[in-house]
């Protein structure tokens, strides 16, 4: 009997990546290598796969069929005759992924996401979408603005590859090549989001040249992208389809359509799951760059899922028990020599880790946060903040790179606000209790002072984040929504404070007053701010206050003071960079911003009349449908006489 041949050992064929070999450079032999990273071409950095030499099996059956050498039709016919199912048969039944990313050829070379390898007829939906995209000079402005101003908030796009694919898309369009629906939809969504954030001068120039209002243009781009996206089958659009679906969720959130945003996020998550992004990527036959991007996008989707679900009191879309989380390596933007300068994705990675931590606490995945969980959640948040790099620390952060990397201070304030938000969430019911009643649980009575302090700390952190975002990113939803949500709970605490013995009552009044001033400023540029300001003003108008307290709460205050004044005795030093925040807020005071159909610049509004629901003379009001999160669990809206008529917004 012949002795069985032992399998050969794996042999790495290349000592350098393909790019370093081509350029005859010394390679660091780690992905991405030093030269590819410096040249921002990590998507081209590839190492030849290891080869395993195997003995060819000896077949003694002369009638055996060589399936690998036969064509698809012949092999499928033979499988039917022989009764043996092939991979194609399983794929047709839905048991195997039907996408090219998991096939062996997917890792050989970088293929632009803009051009389709097939040269079939262009569908009417693609033709319509192409006609909707503005001329190239205006699209260039929107794309550049998105990459420079908006992308750092989420970093759903990797700028070098997107810029490459963007140039390829226009080149392919000019040469009559077949353009992919997924990238065309992605480009439309980039335009739809960017035009909402443009500065006033650039926005007015585009409106004048294109002949339409910027909100109308944004809606056209979004609807064209949505219609085109509906023509792409599950798993057919690859990573680009997931990115453009996520941008659709961002667009809805910018327009204060929170429920629609949650549903759009679900579509992006399901598309990512169709591609297997929720599983380990070790078996996926894709390039290292594709593997890294999959990890980044999945972390981003999971981060949005747990945050928006908690804020809107909705169930988690992703069940973390059935997912394999692989954090990004974060080396695409920074090398080992820049260890103190984190990647723009570091913030998303940290937020993903916080979601994983708190999801393990019983009840959190079902959306139920009670005072009984407050201690466990606070402990997890504390452990999480201890993992921050020096640049994001709660106390005395390293600010040496703030001026050279604009995303760092914004992400620092965002992480701090998130830490306070999660700590405060289980304590919300403690704000509305009456300690004098016998039916009040002892635990909630003891936690009320802590709840007030956490609310004030969260308000301070959210104010700092909002000051950092203005004026360029005034539409960023997270900060104004936190300010409104926290202020509404503090108002609820005042209404339920029958004996006027609420802990730190004076600071609560100051905090609500500052919230009104901040949201009034945000209302000039963002629908979220306009809606939140109007509703909060009505709530405040229903609080029973003394004449002195009413004077304090309606005082005209500058939001810039939030960064230099602590709101509670035990508040920590959360990302303190007051001089920069004050300067940013002062710059906003000199800019005339307006909502469509209403010019608020130079208008002196009677805030007492506004609180009582009296609109401006001659300006009609309309109803806005806003999901107010779990405030309905505390507030009796009918008895308070609150409605959602927003005076002055057309």
Tally Cβ neighbours within 10 Å of residue 85: 13
Residues 367 and 468 in one domain: yes
Give pLDDT, residue 438: 61
Q: Look at residue 96 in the predicted model and tell me its pLDDT.
A: 46
Look at residues 4, 199, 238, 222 and name the one whose alpha carbon lies nearest to residue 100. 238
Distant-in-sequence, close-in-space partners of 142: CB < 8 Å, separation ≥ 6: 134, 190, 191, 194, 195, 198
Any idea which residue has 């070379």 for tokens?
109
CB 350 within 8 A of CB 394: no
Residue 81 lies in a domain: no
Q: Is residue 181 part of a domain?
A: yes
SS (H, E, C) 369-414: CCHHHHHHHHHHHHHHHCCCCHHHCCCCCCCCCCCCCCHHHHHHHH
Sign (positive or negative) of CA dihedral 245, 247, 248, 252: positive
Is residue 202 within 8 Å of residue 475, measured between CB atoms? no
Nearest alpha-carbon partner for 264 in 276, 253, 279: 253
**pTM, whole model, 2 decimals?**
0.72
Residue 300 and residue 208 share a domain: yes
- Same domain for 347 and 379: no
- Residue 485 in domain: yes
Q: Are residues 491 and 516 in the same domain?
A: yes
Residues of the chain with pLDDT under 70: 1-14, 49-110, 119-120, 282-284, 334-341, 367-368, 434-441, 470-476, 527-528, 556-650
231 lies in the same domain as 252: yes
Of 33, 48, 63, the last residue of a domain is 48
Whether 632 and 645 share a structural domain: yes
Task: Note whether 269 and 318 are within 8 A (CB).
Answer: yes
pLDDT on residue 54: 46
Are residues 139 and 201 both part of a single domain? Answer: yes
Q: What is the pLDDT of residues 575-623, one digit of tens each?
A: 333 333 333 333 333 222 222 322 323 323 333 333 333 332 322 232 3
- Residue 283: count other Cβ atoms within 10 Å of its Cβ: 8
Q: With contact defined as beta carbons under 8 Å apart, do 588 and 517 qualify?
A: no
Q: Are residues 324 and 392 in the same domain?
A: no
CATH assignment at residue 20? 4.10.240.10
Q: Are 180 and 116 in contact (CB under 8 A)?
A: yes
Alpha-carbon span 490 to 402, nearest angstrom: 33
Between CA 573 and CA 583, with CA 577 as vertex, the angle to 5 degrees is: 145
Structural domain containing residue 494: 363-557+625-649
Structure tokens given for 263: 């549903």
- Residue 6 located in a structural domain: no
Residue 474, helix vs strand vs coil: coil
> Can you give the three-state secondary structure of 423-452, one letter per residue?
HHHHHHHHHHCCCCCCCCCHHHHHHHHHHH
Is residue 401 located within the same domain as residue 543? yes
Q: Taking a C-beta distance cutoff of 8 angstroms, is the pair 453, 486 a contact?
A: no
User: How far, in Å, CA of 348 to CA of 345, rounded?
Assistant: 5
CB atoms within 10 A of CB 368: 11
**244 belongs to a structural domain:** yes
Residue 8 resides in a domain: no
Buried b (16+ CB within 10 A) or exposed e, 332-353: bbbeeeeeebbbbbbbbbbbbe
- Name the residue with tokens 């209403």: 598
Same domain, 382 and 345: no
What does the angle CA 382 – CA 383 – CA 389 come to, to the nearest 5 degrees?
A: 100
Specify the DSSP element, H or E, that contains 622: strand 622-623
Q: Is residue 575 part of a domain?
A: no
In this prediction, residue 251 carries a pLDDT of 93
State the first-to-last Cα distance of the chain, in angstroms, to the nearest integer.
89
In 10 A of CB 134, how many CB atoms? 18
Residue 470 lies in a domain: yes
Please count the structural domains in the chain.
3
Query: Does one domain contain both 269 and 311?
Result: yes
Indicate whether 276 and 130 sit together in one domain.
yes
């Amino acid at each position: 009997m012949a002795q069985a041949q032992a399998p050969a050992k794996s042999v790495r064929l290349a000592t350098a990546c393909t790019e370093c070999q081509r350029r005859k450079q010394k390679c660091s032999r780690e992905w991405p290598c030093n030269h590819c990273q410096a040249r921002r071409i990590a998507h081209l950095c590839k190492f030849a796969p290891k080869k395993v030499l195997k003995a060819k099996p000896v077949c003694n059956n002369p009638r055996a069929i060589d399936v690998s050498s036969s064509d698809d039709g012949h092999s499928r016919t033979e499988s039917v005759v022989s009764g043996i199912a092939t991979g194609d048969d399983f794929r047709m039944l839905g048991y195997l992924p039907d996408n090219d990313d998991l096939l062996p050829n997917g890792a050989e070379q970088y293929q632009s996401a803009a051009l389709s390898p097939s040269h079939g007829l262009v569908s009417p939906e693609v033709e319509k979408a192409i006609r909707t995209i503005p001329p190239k000079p205006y699209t260039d402005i929107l794309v550049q603005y998105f990459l420079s101003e908006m992308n750092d908030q989420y970093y759903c796009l990797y700028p070098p590859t997107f810029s490459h694919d963007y140039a390829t898309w226009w080149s392919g369009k000019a040469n009559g090549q077949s353009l992919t629906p997924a990238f065309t939809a992605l480009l439309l969504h980039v335009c739809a989001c960017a035009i909402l954030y443009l500065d006033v001068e650039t926005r007015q120039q585009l409106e004048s040249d294109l002949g339409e209002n910027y909100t109308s243009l944004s809606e056209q781009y979004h609807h064209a992208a949505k219609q085109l996206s509906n023509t792409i089958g599950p798993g057919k659009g690859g990573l680009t389809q997931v990115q453009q679906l996520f941008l659709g969720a961002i667009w809805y959130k910018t327009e204060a359509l929170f429920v629609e945003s949650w549903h759009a996020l679900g579509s992006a998550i399901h598309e990512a799951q169709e591609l297997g992004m929720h599983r380990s990527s070790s078996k996926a036959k894709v390039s290292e760059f594709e593997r890294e991007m999959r990890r980044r996008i999945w972390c981003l989707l999971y981060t949005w899922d747990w945050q928006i679900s908690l804020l809107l009191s909705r169930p988690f879309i992703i069940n973390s028990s059935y997912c394999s989380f692989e954090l990004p390596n974060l080396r695409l933007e920074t090398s080992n020599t820049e260890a103190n300068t984190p990647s723009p994705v570091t913030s998303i990675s940290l937020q993903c880790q916080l979601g994983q931590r708190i999801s393990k606490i019983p009840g959190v995945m079902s959306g139920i946060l009670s005072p009984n969980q407050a201690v466990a959640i606070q402990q997890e948040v504390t452990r999480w903040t201890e993992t921050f790099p020096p640049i994001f620390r709660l106390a005395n952060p390293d600010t040496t790179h703030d001026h050279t990397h604009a995303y760092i201070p914004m992400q620092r304030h965002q992480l701090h606000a998130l830490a306070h938000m999660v700590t405060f969430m289980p304590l919300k019911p403690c704000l509305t209790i009456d300690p004098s009643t016998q039916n009040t649980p002892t635990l909630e009575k003891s936690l009320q002072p802590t709840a007030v302090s956490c609310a004030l700390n969260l308000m301070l952190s959210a104010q700092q984040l909002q000051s950092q975002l203005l004026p360029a990113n005034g539409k960023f939803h997270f900060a104004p929504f936190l300010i409104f949500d926290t202020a509404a709970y503090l108002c609820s605490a005042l209404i339920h404070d029958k004996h006027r013995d609420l802990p730190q009552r004076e600071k609560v009044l100051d905090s609500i007053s500052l919230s009104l001033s901040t949201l009034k400023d945000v209302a000039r540029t963002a629908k979220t701010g306009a809606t939140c300001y109007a509703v909060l003003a009505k709530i405040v108008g229903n609080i029973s206050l003394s004449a002195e307290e009413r004077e304090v709460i309606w005082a005209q205050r500058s939001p810039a003071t939030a960064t230099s004044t602590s709101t509670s005795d035990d508040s920590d030093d959360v990302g303190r960079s007051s001089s920069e925040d004050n300067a940013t807020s002062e710059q906003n005071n000199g800019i005339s911003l307006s909502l469509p159909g209403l010019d608020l610049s130079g208008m002196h509004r009677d805030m007492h009349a506004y609180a009582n629901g009296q609109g401006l003379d001659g300006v009609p009001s309309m109803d806005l449908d806003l999901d107010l999160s779990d405030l309905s669990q505390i507030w009796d809206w009918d008895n308070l006489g609150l409605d959602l008529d927003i005076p002055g917004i057309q």
